[in-house]
Amino acid sequence: MNKEKILKISLITIAVVLILIALINALDFYFQQKTWRQENAQFEERSRQAASLLSNSSSGDLADGSQPSDDYQVEASLGTACQLESDCVLPMEYAVQSRCPFTVKCISGGCAVVCPLDYYGGE
């Protein structure tokens, strides 16, 4: 009889421990998702700001009031935020085109695909 009680208590203890472990894992997952959503929202906001800055640059004025460079023409805004040109990646769809030696530039905090004006002939 005593062995049966010990066995029941052991099984109940194991079940409680397993339930606590599952609860801790669920809470950890929830907080990881919450953090990821917050970081993703911040990244998307920075991307929208960069895209807005680049769309302003195509009309001639950058957000900081400066003019776009005379060395290149902005072909497309990539909609990704950057601080350095190394933060930007040239999409394959531009890399394979022969009409221009496209490259990427970090313009006012946003990545843009650009073509050198001397390749366009200064148009």
The total of structural domains in the chain comes to 1
Cα separation values, 45 from 42, 50, 53, 79, 90, Å:
5, 9, 12, 10, 21
pTM for this one?
A: 0.45
Residues contacting 17, CB < 8 A, separation 6+: none
Q: Are 81 and 50 in contact (CB under 8 A)?
A: yes
Q: Which residues of the chain have pLDDT under 70?
A: 1, 51-70, 119-123
Cα R_g (the chain), whole angstroms: 28
pLDDT digits (tens, 9 = 90+) for 16-47: 999 999 999 999 999 999 999 988 888 888 77
Q: What is the span of the domain harbouring residue 29?
A: 1-123
Cα separation values, 60 from 9, 15, 108, 111, 115, Å:
77, 68, 13, 17, 16
Q: Are 100 and 107 in contact (CB under 8 A)?
A: no
* Helices (H), ranges, the chain: 2-58, 92-95, 117-120
CA 92 to chain centre: 18
Give residue 120's pLDDT: 54
